[in-house]
């Protein structure tokens, strides 16, 4: 990459690139991040849409709060199972709202620690209208 092509105006995130200078030698320049300058806003917009759609699914009782955080944290079921020290089958069941309602406080605490939220936050994601349903 030539030196003139390496400069990106992005003061939020600076980095060092090694480029071909005008005299033919290679050396470092300090420049902004191309990805941050051009794609960060798009990432936040997509993430906001993902959060909104997942919250709707939780409120419609299609997925559990565990499933919501699993997707947001970009974890797999085996990774989450290892972190909460439960078997994969149990974690898979907890992704269903029907079984989420039956989680004991000890297991729910494990999930809360992994997702860095309170137990109250996990339980309060389910709207009152869904709690009245017979499971």
Both 57 and 116 in a single domain? yes
Both 83 and 120 in a single domain? yes
Does some domain include residue 13?
Answer: yes
Does some domain include residue 8?
Answer: yes
Does some domain include residue 37?
Answer: no
φ, ψ dihedrals at 94, nearest 5°: -70, -15
Return the SS3 of 17: strand
Which comes out higher in pLDDT, residue 73 or 2? Answer: 73
CATH number, domain of 115, equals 1.10.260.40
Both 61 and 12 in a single domain? no
Both 60 and 8 in a single domain? no
Both 20 and 52 in a single domain? no
Q: Which single residue is written with the structure tokens 């309170």?
A: 118
Does some domain include residue 134?
Answer: no
Residue 38 has what pLDDT? 87
Mean of the pLDDT values across residues 116-122?
Answer: 92
CA–CA gap between residue 84 and residue 114 (Å, rounded): 7
Does some domain include residue 78?
Answer: yes
- pLDDT of 131 above 50: no
Both 53 and 16 in a single domain? no
CA–CA gap between residue 135 and residue 92 (Å, rounded): 17
Both 50 and 21 in a single domain? no
Does some domain include residue 94?
Answer: yes
Question: In this prediction, what percent of the chain has a pLDDT beyond 90?
Answer: 65
Count Cβ atoms below 10 Å from residue 12 Cβ, excluding itself: 9
**Structure tokens, 125:** 């994601």
């Amino acid at each position: 990459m030539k030196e003139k092509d390496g400069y990106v105006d992005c003061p939020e995130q600076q980095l060092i690139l090694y480029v071909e200078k005008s005299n033919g030698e290679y050396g470092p320049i300090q420049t902004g991040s191309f990805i941050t300058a051009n794609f960060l806003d798009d990432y936040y917009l997509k993430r906001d849409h993902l959060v909104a759609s997942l919250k709707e699914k939780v409120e419609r009782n299609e997925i559990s709060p565990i499933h919501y955080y699993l997707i947001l944290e970009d974890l797999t079921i085996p990774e989450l199972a290892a972190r909460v020290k439960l078997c994969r089958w149990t974690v898979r069941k907890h992704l269903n709202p029907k079984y989420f309602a039956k989680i004991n406080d000890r297991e729910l605490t494990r999930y809360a620690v992994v997702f860095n939220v309170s137990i109250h936050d996990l339980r309060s994601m389910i709207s009152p209208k869904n709690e009245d349903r017979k499971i």
